[in-house]
């Protein structure tokens, strides 16, 4: 049945919603909730080798890769080890969903060019403050993301037992 009072969205908004709804941290949100994010999203282009952020920087934004590739790395003494390659449609900088956090890895553009959607931390936190349902849905997705990372970490540890002490993680 047609509802004349139901909010309708432009074709552009619907395309943005479809893109966002495929991203882990937004998968639980309805269009009526995703629309709250649209004014906060900025698009930014980066070139190959450009640093999006460094480890220990304040977590000032969540990034979604629209086009290109980004690799996430950790520094070990004087070298860098790539821990993950981000592809189109994936988010990184997820700890921007948490207040007062710092980056735990460095993000560097790995393709000739990368197009990113940038959502500032302050905008996310404002939405969380005004809409606890959005916050609950996004933080649940974040908890699942971190749980899956822990599972992979523990599996990696079991497969390479003896190379490091997992107990240090909990000290």
Rounded to two decimals, the pTM is 0.86
2 pLDDT exceeds 90?
no
CA distance 156 to 139: 25
pLDDT band at 120 (very low <50, low <70, confident <90, very high): very high
Sheet order of strands, 42-47 included: 42-47, 113-120, 61-67, 91-92
Length of the chain: 171
166 pLDDT exceeds 80?
no
pLDDT score for 1: 56
Q: Could you tell me which CATH number the domain at 15-148 has?
A: 2.60.120.10
3-state SS class at 89: coil
25 pLDDT exceeds 70?
yes
**CA dist list (Å): 161 to 73, 95, 152:** 22, 28, 14
**Using one digit for the tens of pLDDT, what is the confidence trace for 62-99?**
999 999 999 999 988 888 889 899 999 999 999 999 99
pLDDT band at 155 (very low <50, low <70, confident <90, very high): confident
């Amino acid at each position: 049945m047609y509802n004349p009072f139901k909010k309708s969205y432009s074709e552009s908004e619907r395309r943005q919603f479809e893109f966002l709804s495929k991203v882990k941290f937004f998968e639980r949100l309805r269009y009526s909730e995703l629309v709250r994010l649209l004014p906060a999203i900025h698009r930014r282009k980066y070139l190959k080798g450009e640093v999006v952020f460094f480890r220990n920087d304040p977590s000032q934004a969540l990034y979604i890769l629209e086009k290109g590739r980004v690799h996430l790395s950790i520094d070990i003494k004087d070298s860098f080890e790539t821990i993950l390659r981000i592809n189109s449609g994936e988010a990184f900088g997820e700890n921007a969903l948490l207040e007062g956090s710092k980056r735990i890895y460095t993000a560097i553009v790995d393709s000739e060019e990368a197009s990113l959607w940038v959502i500032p931390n302050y905008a996310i936190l404002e939405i969380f403050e005004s809409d606890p349902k959005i916050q609950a849905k996004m933080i649940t997705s974040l908890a699942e993301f971190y749980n899956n990372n822990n599972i992979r970490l523990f599996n990696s540890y079991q497969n390479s037992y003896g190379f490091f002490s997992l107990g240090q993680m909990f000290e």
